[in-house]
Amino acid sequence: MAHVLILGGDGYLGWPTAMYFSNRGYEVTVVDNYLRRNACTEIDVGMLYPIPSLVERAKIWHEKTGNEIKVAIGDLTDAEFTRGFFEGRVKYDWAINYDFTGVPETVVHYAEMPSAPYSMMDYKKSNFTITNNLLVSSNLLFAVRDLAPDTHIIKLGTMGEYGTPNIDIEEGWLEVEHNGRKQKFLYPRAAGSLYHTTKVMDTDLYWFGVRMWNLRITDLMQGPVYGIETEESKIDPRLRPIFNYDEVFGTIVNRFITQAINGYPLTVYGKGGQTRGYLNIKDTLQCVHMSEKSPAEKGELRIFNQVMETFSVNELADITKRVGDKLGYNVEIKNIENPRKEAEEHYYNPTYQGLINIGVEPHYLTDEVMEEMFKVVAEYKDNIRNDVIFRGVKW
C-alpha cells in the first residue's frame, strides 16, 4: 500500500490526517518537533485538554486498531534530517517494525509555524516564522528533487495568501490581458500577516521548483478550519486533535464556541465584516486524501482553494450566539477595537470548485454541526482559562 509521510504530524490537522490515512490502509509515517506544543507553552496558552505525546498517540492508535503509524521526532529545518526520510537514514522514535518503510509516494507538508498573531508578536518570532517555514519547505523541495522526483508533495497553503483583492479570487492562477498580449500568472498575492506572507514565499518557492525540475506539487489554499471530532477520534477521546481556543493558536469558530460556553463575550474585531472561506476539519482530511488519490502531474503546481463556504465574522458570531443561546448559554457579542490592520468591509468572492471536482463532499457549518461541537467542548468546560483567550497582539 502507498506510503504517506506527514510532516507536522502532531498538529491540529497533522494527527487527524495520519489516522485518516492509516484507517484506509496506507503506510503512514509522522514527523514533528512539537513546535506547536512548545510555542503554546512559551506564550502560556493552554489547550482545551491535555494531549498525549505523539508516541503515546501512535501506541493508543495501534492498540485500538492494530494499525502502525511510525513516529519520528525531529526538526525538519535540518536538511540532513529531512533527507533521511528519502535516503533510509531514519531513526524512528516509535514503530512496530523499525525497518525503513521506504520512499513515500506522497508527502503531506503541514510542518510550519501556523499562527498569524504569533508571527506578529515581535521581530524574533517573525524571524523564527520565516526561517522555520522557508527552510522546511526548501529542505523538502530539494530532498524530493534530488532523491524522489516522482513523489507528490501536498503542501498546505492558505487562502490568506490572496488577501482581500477587489476582484474574484481564482484557484491559484490568473490569465491577464495587457496591451494586447496575454500571460497566465500565479494569482498575485498580498497577505495580511507575516505568517501568511511566509506562505506566499512558500508558493513562490514551490512554483519555482515545479518550473525548474518538473516536480508534482499540490498547494492547498486552505481557509480557517473548525471542528474537533473526526471519524477516527471517536475511537478514543485521547485521539482528539490539539484544540486551542486562544487568539494566537485557536481558529475563530473553535474559539467562539469556547468563549460562549465559558461566558466570555464573543470578541468581534472592529466592524466584523471580515469575510473568509471556512471548512470542517473532516473536509481537510477529505481534501488531502482526494489530492493524494488524484495527484498533480509531473511539472504541475496544482492549486486548490480549500474552503467550503464563506462567512463574515459577524455571521459566525450570530450562529454561535443562536446555537449557544438554544443550549442555555447566555451568549454576548462584543465589538472591540481591531488590533489588526485589515479591511473590515471588503469584496470577497473566491472560487472553490477544484476539490469538489476530484470528489470531496463538503460538510457545512449548520446549527446541528455547531451544536455537536458545543457538546464536545463543554466536556472540558473546567479546563477553560478566560485569561488566555484575548491577547491583543497588535499588527
Site residues (vs a copy of itself, CB under 8 A): 79, 123-124, 126-127, 130-131, 134-135, 138-139, 142-143, 146, 165-168, 174, 176-179, 181-183, 185-191, 194, 197, 200-201, 204-205, 207-208, 211-212, 341, 347, 395
Closer CB to a copy of itself, 67 or 198, in the complex: 198
Collapsing DSSP to helix, strand or coil, 141 comes out as: helix
Q: Minimal distance in Å, beta carbon 101 to a copy of itself?
A: 23
Q: Minimal distance in Å, beta carbon 7 to a copy of itself?
A: 16
The separation between CA 328 and the C-alpha centre of its own chain, rounded to angstroms, equals 32
C-alpha cell of residue 334: 462584543
**Looking at the annotation, which residues are catalytic?**
158, 195, 199
Q: Minimal distance in Å, beta carbon 376 to a copy of itself?
A: 36
Q: Minimal distance in Å, beta carbon 27 to a copy of itself?
A: 26
Closer CB to a copy of itself, 318 or 342, in the complex: 342
Task: Give how far Cα 3 sits from Cα of 28, 33, 107, Å.
Answer: 6, 21, 9
C-alpha cell of residue 112: 510550519
Q: Minimal distance in Å, beta carbon 100 to a copy of itself?
A: 21
For strand 173-178 and strand 300-306, is the pairing parallel, antiparallel, or unpaired? unpaired
Closer CB to a copy of itself, 57 or 125, in the complex: 125
**Which of 60, 30, 41, 27 has its CA nearest to residue 240?**
60
d(CA 68, CA 22): 7
Kindly tell me the burial class for residue 179, based on how many C-beta atoms sit within 10 Å of its own C-beta (0-12, 13-18, 19 or more).
Answer: exposed
> Which residues lie across from 226 on neighbouring strands?
280
d(CA 348, CA 319): 20
d(CA 321, CA 256): 9
Closer CB to a copy of itself, 55 or 135, in the complex: 135
Q: Minimal distance in Å, beta carbon 208 to a copy of itself?
A: 5
CB of 374 closer than 8 Å to CB of 326: no
Closer CB to a copy of itself, 201 or 327, in the complex: 201
Other Cβ atoms closer than 10 A to 357: 10
d(CA 31, CA 107): 11
The type of residue at 259 is Q
Closer CB to a copy of itself, 96 or 212, in the complex: 212
